[in-house]
Amino acid sequence: MHAKFRDGLANLYRSHYVRKGMENNNTHGFSKQKFVGSLPADSLSIPPELVEKLTDAERSYVERKVIEPARQAAEARRLAELARERDANWRVVEAARLLREARDLAEAGPGVLDAAGTAGAEEALGSLRAVVQHSVADCSADPLQQALEAIQYAARAVREGRYGKAPSGNVRATDEYQLWGAIKSAVDGDPGECLLRALQDVGFVKVRGR
């Protein structure tokens, strides 16, 4: 079996070899494909109606080729969304944009700002300055060193039983496996986002074959 990805679908085909003279007096052998079914490329499980059409080996192939990458991508998106929810920076950027708009409107029409709103903005800015000063002091830590320590801490936690033993069933469906896939992708996965490519781009890690 093999999969062809197109227009957001994974199309599944079986192939078999037709030997010379076996079909319409063919003069040489060739590979013949038969369409089995399709599923969305971002599927997190094989649809029941498709499972019935597949052999055990074919189900394993679809899990490996379609389902597992989709789960890893979904977990990476979930972690990115979680990081955005916790990220103050984009909110500061958006607040700055709104403040500039408010300034322009106030300059165009004097008197449009009320004292309460202005006082609230000044209070928020004052509080933010204090937080920024504290954050700048904390930014002296080396991010690569922090990443290393976090991985070492996670490894100790796994060895010491924090997550227990893996189930006897489908290990790939567990949160722990999905997180591991996301960690691998962040370190050495998506060429545009991973740590390895970032280090290669600035010359600290050599690109293989160069």
How far is 169 from 179, CA to CA, in rounded Å? 18
Give me the half-sphere count of Cα atoms (radius 13 Å) on the Cβ side of residue 64: 8
pLDDT digits (tens, 9 = 90+) for 149-189: 899 999 999 999 988 999 988 888 898 998 998 899 899 88
* Contacts made by residues 188-197, CB under 8 angstroms, sequence distance 24+: 190/76, 195/147
Nearest CA among 164, 163, 181 for reference residue 172: 181
Whole-number pLDDT of residue 66: 94
* pLDDT exceeds 90 at position 60: yes
pLDDT digits (tens, 9 = 90+) for 125-145: 888 887 776 665 556 678 898
Structure tokens belonging to residue 160: 């010491």
Helices 68-86 and 175-188: crossing angle in degrees, nearest 10, is 80
**Could you tell me the pTM of the whole model?**
0.52
Report percent pLDDT > 70 for the chain: 95
On average, the pLDDT of the chain sits at 86
Structure tokens belonging to residue 38: 């399709």
